[in-house]
Amino acid sequence: MKKYMSSNVIGIIGLGLLGGSIAKALSLHTSYRVVGYARRQSVCDKAIASGAVAVAYTSVVDVVKEADVLVFALPPDINGVVFNEVAPLIKEGALVTDVSSTKHNFVQAVYKYLPSHVRFVSIHPMAGSEKGGFEEAKATLFEGCTWIVIHSEDTPGWSDDGAAELRHWGELFGAHIEEITMAEHDAYMASISHMPHLVAGMVATVAGGDADGEQRLRLAAGGFRDITRVAGGNPSMWREIIMGNAECIDAALASLEVEISHVRHLLAETDSEGMEAYLKRAKKIRDTFASLLGGYNERI
Amino acid sequence: MKKYMSSNVIGIIGLGLLGGSIAKALSLHTSYRVVGYARRQSVCDKAIASGAVAVAYTSVVDVVKEADVLVFALPPDINGVVFNEVAPLIKEGALVTDVSSTKHNFVQAVYKYLPSHVRFVSIHPMAGSEKGGFEEAKATLFEGCTWIVIHSEDTPGWSDDGAAELRHWGELFGAHIEEITMAEHDAYMASISHMPHLVAGMVATVAGGDADGEQRLRLAAGGFRDITRVAGGNPSMWREIIMGNAECIDAALASLEVEISHVRHLLAETDSEGMEAYLKRAKKIRDTFASLLGGYNERI
């Protein structure tokens, strides 16, 4: 069902899980011409064969020259490096966006190198998986997910029209739209995504990192599986995300240390009532989250 | 498919998620007469109507008098209190077991009050959910799960025959059998279940516990959903589990603090290589766990 007729060209730079899924969703829901960049020819071939893109190049420049909207969907640091290189080639009036989980490094590059005639609005589709790559990409990835549009009128390249266009993509893809500022974004992500990601790895390490680790892991069940799931994600990509948001994540880890101290105190004092109150409050917060999700996720 | 013909009576004390599921699985796979205890008549009625039990009582004594095998499936502390009360009434030669996640308090009661003619072998089916109660019970709950039989020849009531019988239940129910000692059990559970449960609650609290909490939770996605899932569990039951294994859990939390310190150091030093190495190691451990699960869980 092609809802939009347009001669616009959308260039997707990076055909991994997010870039590939946006390409597929745009090709499904719009009449835009979608072109892609991937480092490897094999990924380009797959993207073309699947119908996700009309054409794909192993050169970023080929995409940039053609595109009216450019979606940077590489890992956060590489996004910034690539942007520096191609910024002067971006078409006049084009719209630039990115889908990174950590915005700081990329937007610093954008603020520095963005040509004056180019628009920039950042987004963050809150969809992901510990399994990455074009093989995992699908047009339905964003259904029921939160699609964040960064609303920052004071930053270089801001465009109401650009924001409206990107919000529209999220709606077309069945996502739930939220708008926050750039400053809020990185701090919030530290608490709801980056710190939890590190914690998943830490819990896996504590449970399975010593001589008895494998025996313990043989006994572990569904709770452990879910708590540690994201620790299976790509270490290189997550290193970029985490190091790019170090300050906010450090603050979130400091908050976690306060919670641990409190719980250890309850244990030391054999404070059963305090422990039940702590667990009740955590459950209430978790239940709030589940109810906010509503019908979006089948598996709460 | 009734594989076993027997006139034995199995008494299930507590028809929650685990007790109810064992009752249903026994009624499905064996010809044992299964009888149950629940505090509320409405649960007894449901259990009888569903065919999980032949009969159910709101008096523990009625179950104990009749049963050749007694399964204590109440929360850990209540299990111990009830055992104290009914120990003298247990039939000669009967087998007592329990399914608790924390063994310490219950087995202290058993070691103290177990009649000399009664056998005792503890088990722990590693199946659970943040949703409890008989409504959630199902005969298939144990399929693909780990079914731990505590092997402790030196403890009161130990019985090879009893252990074989309970191992057999796990096999009948499609579970994967593991044997560990009582001492190993509580320490292992602290690392793979109890500490992670607390961490799920702590992460929910850090992300959602302050004035901006609801806004943050509105943005959270699948990773947060999974990491915090178990925090939705019953606070009263988990308080008993946690306070009953306080020492081991405190040690696991201390280990977690060491990991946090290490990660905060990597952040402070902008040690990208160290961070990637940390994430790689955590992923390797998590991938080991996933491969150990093999086909057991459809959703790794």
- Name the DSSP class of B30: B
| Chain mean position to CA A267 | 37
| pLDDT of A4 higher than 70 | no
Report pLDDT for A74: 94
Q: Is B45 helix (H, G, I), strand (E, B) or coil?
A: helix
Report pLDDT for B192: 95
- Name the DSSP class of B91: P
Q: Is A113 on the interface with B (CB under 8 A)?
A: no
Rounded CA-CA distance B70/B89 in Å is 12
Rounded CA-CA distance B192/B101 in Å is 11
Q: Is B39 on the interface with A (CB under 8 A)?
A: no
Report pLDDT for B161: 95
Instruction: Round the CA-based radius of gyration of chain A to a whole number and report it.
Output: 21
Are A249 and B243 within 8 A, CB to CB?
no
Q: What residues pair up with B34 in beta bridges, in sequence order?
A: B10
Q: Is B288 on the interface with A (CB under 8 A)?
A: yes
Q: Is B238 on the interface with A (CB under 8 A)?
A: yes
CATH topology classification for B186-269: 6-phosphogluconate dehydrogenase C-terminal fold (1.10.3660)
Q: Quick one: pLDDT band at residue A186, thresholds 50, 70, 90?
A: very high
Burial A217-230 (b: 16+ CB within 10 A, else e): bbbbbbbbbbbbbb
Most confident of A196-210, A221-235, B101-115: A196-210
Q: Quick one: pLDDT band at residue A6, thresholds 50, 70, 90?
A: low
pLDDT digits (tens, 9 = 90+) for A22-51: 999 999 999 999 999 999 999 999 999 999
Q: Which residues contact A279 (CB under 8 A, 6 or more apart)?
A: B201, B231, B235, B238, B239, B242
Q: Min CA distance, B5 vs chain A (Å)?
A: 31
Mean predicted lDDT score pLDDT of chain A: 92
B contact test, residue of A289, A293, A296, A299 with most B CBs within 10 A: A289
Report pLDDT for A105: 86
Where are the domains positioned within chain B? 9-180, 186-269
pLDDT digits (tens, 9 = 90+) for A246-291: 999 999 999 999 999 999 999 999 999 999 999 999 999 999 998 8
Report pLDDT for B65: 96
Rounded CA-CA distance A143/A31 in Å is 20
* ipTM of the complex as predicted: 0.88
- Interface size between A and B, measured as CB pairs under 8 A: 313
Q: Dihedral of CA A91/A58/A49/A25: which sign?
A: negative
Rounded CA-CA distance A112/A235 in Å is 28
Report pLDDT for A236: 93
What is the H or E stretch that residue A212 is in? none
Report pLDDT for A221: 86
Rounded CA-CA distance B192/B248 in Å is 11
Residues of chain B below pLDDT 70? 1-7, 294-300
Higher-scoring residue by pLDDT: A248, A7:
A248
Look up the CATH architecture of domain A9-180.
3-Layer(aba) Sandwich (3.40)
Rounded CA-CA distance A98/A125 in Å is 10
Are A216 and B285 within 8 A, CB to CB?
no
Burial A45-59 (b: 16+ CB within 10 A, else e): ebbeebebbbebbee
Partner residue opposite A286 with nearest CB, options B126, B195, B204: B204
A259 chain-B contacts, CB cut-off 8 A:
202, 205-206
